[in-house]
């Protein structure tokens, strides 16, 4: 675990947890779910060193990660973690 952010990502009124790992992974979980709680995960090209959740004007929540290689990725939390082009 290298970084973590907590906020309502998918708009259900409950907080989810987004966290990056030193093994190039991004995971978003809903800790209140009965199963493993994984909403989505992505294998990134480098170790994740920063994770933030940004709420856009249209209500979408972006999960933004920064890697040791200075590569930045953003995923749409409301769309199940698909990349977002803006």
Q: Which tens digit of pLDDT belongs to each residue from 52-77? A: 999 888 878 899 998 888 888 888 87
What percent of the chain clears pLDDT 70, i.e. is strictly above it? 86
Query: Alpha-carbon distance 68 to 13, whole Å?
Result: 32
Answer whether residue 48 shows pLDDT above 50: yes
Report, as an integer, the average pLDDT of 19-25. Answer: 85
Q: Kind of pairing, strands 16-20 and 61-67?
A: unpaired
- pTM here? 0.79
């Amino acid at each position: 675990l290298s970084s973590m952010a907590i906020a309502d990502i998918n708009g259900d009124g409950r907080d989810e947890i987004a966290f990056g790992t030193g093994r190039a992974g991004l995971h978003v979980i809903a800790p209140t779910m009965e199963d493993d709680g994984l909403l989505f995960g992505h294998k990134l090209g480098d170790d994740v060193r920063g994770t933030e959740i940004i709420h856009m004007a249209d209500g979408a929540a972006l999960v933004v990660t920064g890697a040791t290689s200075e590569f930045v990725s953003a995923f749409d939390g409301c769309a199940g973690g698909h990349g977002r082009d803006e």
